[in-house]
C-alpha cells in the first residue's frame, strides 16, 4: 500500500488533480523496426543485433511495413485520425543504452492524433482524449544487477535496441488515480483485442509514465507538473499518483512551489523520489530523420488495415447484451479476455439457450474457478462442456442441483463436463407413478397453496415444483413434474 504523506481531508477537498498518461507499447512484429534482427524476448544479451540497431556509422534504416500496419491498427482502434503523411524525427540525447546518440521517433508530424477512450466514472461515461500516437524505436537496456561485478559496473544489452514501439499520449483529462487506472485498463484491453501487442508488463511490452499536477478546484490554469517514470504495474501507478498528489498538495498548502521534475516510484516504500529536472522538448534538438522518407499510409492501405480491425471490446459488449439478453455487467465478465469471449460465443451459439450458457458461466463456473485459483483458460470445464450442461438442464435431463454436483466432480477430478457426465449418468426419476406419488403427498401437505392455485393464482405452481424436486432430492424429471403437477392441481 502507498504510504500517504500527512494531508488532511480538507486540504485534499480543496485541490483537483490533473493527470495525463504516456504509454509505450511494444509491437508484436517478428523483426525490429529498421532492421531484420529478431525482437524475441529473453535471448542471450547482444545476440539479436546488427550494424543498424548497434548504431554503427553508415548503416541505414529500412522501415518495417508490419510495424506501420500494427501502429495504424492500434490508432484506428483508439479512434484516432490517421495522417496520410507522417515524418520520422531524430530525438537527440546521450544515454549508454542508445548507441546512435539519438532515437528515431516522430515529433511534429505524428502518425495519428485526436483519439479517445471512453471510461466509466462516478459521473457516467467520459471520453479521455488521446493527443497523439506515434511510432518509434526502443532503446537498449542497462543491466545493473545479475553479474559478478555488478556492484562496480553496469552492463548493456542491445537486443531491445530498435524494437518497434508506439507511444500513446493522453490529454490531461484524468482527474483521479482511479480514473488513470480505468483508462489504462481499457487501453490495454483495446490493444490486446487488436493483437498488435501482448501488453506484457513484466517483459516491458507496456510501460507507463504519468504526468500529474494539482490546482485549486475551480481554477483553470494547470499547476506545475511532475512526471512519474518507470512504474511497472497499473496498481503501482495508482498508488504512485495517490502519493504524489498528496505530496504536491502538502507543498502548495505550506506555501511552497512544485519543482518540474521527473520522479521515480519506490513501490516497497510507497513513495516517489526526484530523479532529475524534467527535459523540455527543445532539449532534444529534434529534426527530420534524413535517412528515411516521409511515411505515407495512403487511403487504400488505410482501408485494408481498417478491414483487419476486429470487433472491439465495447462494441462487442453492446452486441452481446442485445444478442444474449444479458446485462451490461454480465457482458463485462464474459469479455474479460478476447479468448474467453470467443470461446463463450462459440459455445452459446451452439447451445439451445444462449442466455442459460451465460448464466451458468457466471453462477457456476466463475466462482469455482476463483475458489480453485484458476484462470478461465485453465478451467477443467470447457465452454463446450458448459454448453452441453446448459442443454441438459434446458431439456430437463438433469436438475440444477445435479448440475452443481457434476460441476463439483469436474473440478475434483480435473475432467471436462462431458466425461464426468458419461461416468455419472445421474439417476433421474422418470417413472410417472413414482413422481405422482410424491406430488400427491405434497399437495395433501399443502392444501392452502393448492386452493390458491385453483382460485387462479397459477404462479403457485413454482412452489409445488420446488417442493417436489426437494422431496425427490433433485432427481425427479423436471418436465414430468411440471406436466403432472398441472394435471393434479386442476382436479
Give the nearer residue to Zn ion in terms of CB position, either 35 or 71: 35
Stretch in the footprint of Zn ion (CB under 5 A) among 43-51, 176-184, 217-225, 391-399: 43-51
> Which residues lie below 8 Å from residue 460, measured CB to CB, with a gap of 6+?
449, 452, 453
Give the nearer residue to Zn ion in terms of CB position, either 40 or 458: 40
Minimal CA–CA distance to 165: which of 34, 261, 43, 287?
Answer: 34
Give the nearer residue to Zn ion in terms of CB position, either 56 or 486: 56
| Distance in angstroms (rounded) separating the CA atoms of residues 459 and 489 | 12
Stretch in the footprint of Zn ion (CB under 5 A) among 30-38, 98-106, 313-321, 376-384: 30-38
Give the three cell numbers for residue 116.
479517445
Q: How far is the CB of 163 from Zn ion (least distance, A)?
A: 10
> Which residues lie below 8 Å from residue 483, measured CB to CB, with a gap of 6+?
none
| Distance in angstroms (rounded) separating the CA atoms of residues 169 and 23 | 6
Stretch in the footprint of Zn ion (CB under 5 A) among 48-56, 84-92, 128-136, 473-481: 48-56
Q: How far is the CB of 204 from Zn ion (least distance, A)?
A: 18
Residue 124 pairs with which residues in a beta bridge? 121
Task: List the one residue from 23, 25, 37, 174 that touches Zn ion (CB under 5 A).
Answer: 37
Binding positions for Zn ion, 169-208, rule CB under 5 A: none
> Which residues lie below 8 Å from residue 16, measured CB to CB, with a gap of 6+?
175, 214, 215, 216, 217
Give the nearer residue to Zn ion in terms of CB position, either 38 or 336: 38
Give the three cell numbers for residue 396.
430437463
Q: How far is the CB of 96 from Zn ion (least distance, A)?
A: 18
Stretch in the footprint of Zn ion (CB under 5 A) among 37-45, 132-140, 343-351, 474-482: 37-45
Residue 35 touching Zn ion (CB under 5 A): yes
Give the nearer residue to Zn ion in terms of CB position, either 34 or 344: 34
| Distance in angstroms (rounded) separating the CA atoms of residues 267 and 233 | 10
The sign of the torsion formed by the CA atoms of 89, 158, 75, 114 equals: negative
Strand ranges, E, within 50-186? 81-82, 85-86, 88-92, 102-106, 112-121, 124-137, 141-143, 155-157, 164-170
Stretch in the footprint of Zn ion (CB under 5 A) among 46-54, 73-81, 381-389, 474-482: 46-54
Stretch in the footprint of Zn ion (CB under 5 A) among 36-44, 136-144, 352-360, 374-382: 36-44
> Which residues lie below 8 Å from residue 41, measured CB to CB, with a gap of 6+?
203
Give the nearer residue to Zn ion in terms of CB position, either 56 or 293: 56
Q: How far is the CB of 45 from Zn ion (least distance, A)?
A: 14
Give the three cell numbers for residue 232.
511497472
C-alpha distances (whole Å) from 246 to each of 123, 208, 243 are 23, 20, 5
Task: List the one residue from 11, 28, 50, 63 that touches Zn ion (CB under 5 A).
Answer: 50
Q: How far is the CB of 340 from Zn ion (least distance, A)?
A: 37
Give the nearer residue to Zn ion in terms of CB position, either 33 or 469: 33
Q: How far is the CB of 137 from Zn ion (least distance, A)?
A: 10
Minimal CA–CA distance to 26: which of 248, 283, 203, 151?
Answer: 203
Q: How far is the CB of 146 from Zn ion (least distance, A)?
A: 24
Give the nearer residue to Zn ion in terms of CB position, either 52 or 74: 52
Q: How far is the CB of 52 from Zn ion (least distance, A)?
A: 5
Task: Assess contact for 75 and 60: CB atoms under 8 A.
Answer: no
| Secondary structure element (H or E) that encloses residue 248, with its range | helix 234-253
Q: How far is the CB of 41 from Zn ion (least distance, A)?
A: 15
Binding-site size for Zn ion (CB under 5 A) equals: 5
Give the nearer residue to Zn ion in terms of CB position, either 50 or 429: 50
Residue 53 touching Zn ion (CB under 5 A): yes
Q: Residues interacting with Zn ion, by CB under 5 A?
A: 35, 37, 50, 52-53
Amino acid at each position: 500500500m502507498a504510504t500517504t504523506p500527512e494531508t488532511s481531508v480538507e486540504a485534499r477537498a480543496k485541490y483537483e488533480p490533473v493527470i495525463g498518461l504516456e504509454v509505450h507499447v511494444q509491437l508484436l512484429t517478428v523483426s525490429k523496426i529498421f532492421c531484420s534482427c529478431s525482437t524475441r524476448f529473453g535471448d542471450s544479451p547482444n545476440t539479436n543485433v546488427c550494424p543498424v540497431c548497434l548504431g554503427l556509422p553508415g548503416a541505414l534504416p529500412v522501415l518495417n511495413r508490419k510495424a506501420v500496419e500494427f501502429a495504424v491498427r492500434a490508432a484506428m482502434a483508439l479512434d484516432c485520425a490517421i495522417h496520410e503523411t507522417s515524418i520520422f524525427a531524430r530525438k537527440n540525447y546521450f544515454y549508454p543504452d542508445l548507441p546512435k546518440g539519438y532515437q528515431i521517433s516522430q515529433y511534429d508530424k505524428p502518425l495519428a492524433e485526436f483519439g479517445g477512450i471512453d471510461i466509466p466514472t462516478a459521473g457516467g461515461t467520459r471520453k479521455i482524449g488521446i493527443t497523439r500516437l506515434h511510432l518509434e524505436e526502443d532503446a537498449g537496456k542497462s543491466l545493473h544487477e545479475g553479474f559478478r561485478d555488478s556492484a562496480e559496473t553496469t552492463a548493456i544489452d542491445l537486443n531491445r535496441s530498435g524494437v518497434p514501439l508506439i507511444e500513446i499520449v493522453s490529454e490531461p483529462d484524468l482527474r483521479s488515480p482511479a480514473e488513470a487506472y480505468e483508462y489504462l485498463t481499457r487501453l490495454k484491453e483495446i490493444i490486446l483485442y487488436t493483437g498488435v501487442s501482448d501488453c506484457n508488463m513484466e517483459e516491458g511490452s507496456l510501460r507507463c509514465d504519468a504526468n500529474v499536477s494539482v490546482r485549486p478546484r475551480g481554477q483553470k490554469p494547470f499547476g506545475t507538473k511532475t512526471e512519474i517514470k518507470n512504474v511497472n504495474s497499473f496498481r503501482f501507478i495508482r498508488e504512485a499518483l495517490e502519493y504524489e498528489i498528496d505530496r504536491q498538495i502538502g507543498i502548495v498548502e505550506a506555501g511552497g512551489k512544485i519543482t518540474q521534475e521527473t520522479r521515480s516510484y519506490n513501490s516497497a516504500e510507497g513513495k516517489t523520489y526526484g530523479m532529475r529536472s524534467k527535459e523540455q522538448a527543445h532539449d532534444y534538438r529534434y529534426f527530420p530523420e534524413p535517412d528515411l522518407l516521409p511515411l505515407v499510409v495512403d487511403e487504400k492501405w488505410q482501408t485494408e488495415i481498417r478491414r483487419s480491425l476486429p470487433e472491439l471490446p465495447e462494441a462487442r459488449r453492446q452486441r452481446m447484451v442485445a444478442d444474449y439478453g444479458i446485462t451490461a455487467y454480465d457482458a463485462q465478465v464474459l469479455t474479460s479476455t478476447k479468448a474467453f469471449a470467443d470461446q463463450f460465443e462459440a459455445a452459446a451459439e451452439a447451445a439451445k439457450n444462449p442466455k442459460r450458457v451465460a448464466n451458468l458461466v457466471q453462477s457456476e463456473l466463475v466462482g469455482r474457478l476463483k475458489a480453485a485459483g484458476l484462470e478461465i483458460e485453465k478451467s477443467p470445464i470447457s465452454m463446450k462442456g458448459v454448453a452441453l450442461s446448459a442443454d441438459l438442464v434446458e431439456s430437463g435431463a438433469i436438475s440444477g442441483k445435479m448440475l452443481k454436483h457434476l460441476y463439483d466432480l469436474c473440478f475434483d477430478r480435473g475432467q471436462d463436463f462431458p466425461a464426468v457426465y458419461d461416468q455419472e449418468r445421474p439417476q433421474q426419476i422418470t417413472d410417472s407413478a413414482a413422481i405422482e406419488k410424491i406430488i400427491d403427498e405434497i399437495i395433501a401437505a399443502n392444501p392452502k397453496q393448492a386452493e390458491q392455485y385453483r382460485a387462479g393464482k397459477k404462479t403457485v405452481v413454482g412452489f409445488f415444483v420446488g417442493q417436489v424436486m426437494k422431496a425427490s432430492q433433485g432427481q425427479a424429471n423436471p418436465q414430468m413434474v411440471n406436466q403432472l403437477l398441472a394435471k393434479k392441481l386442476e382436479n
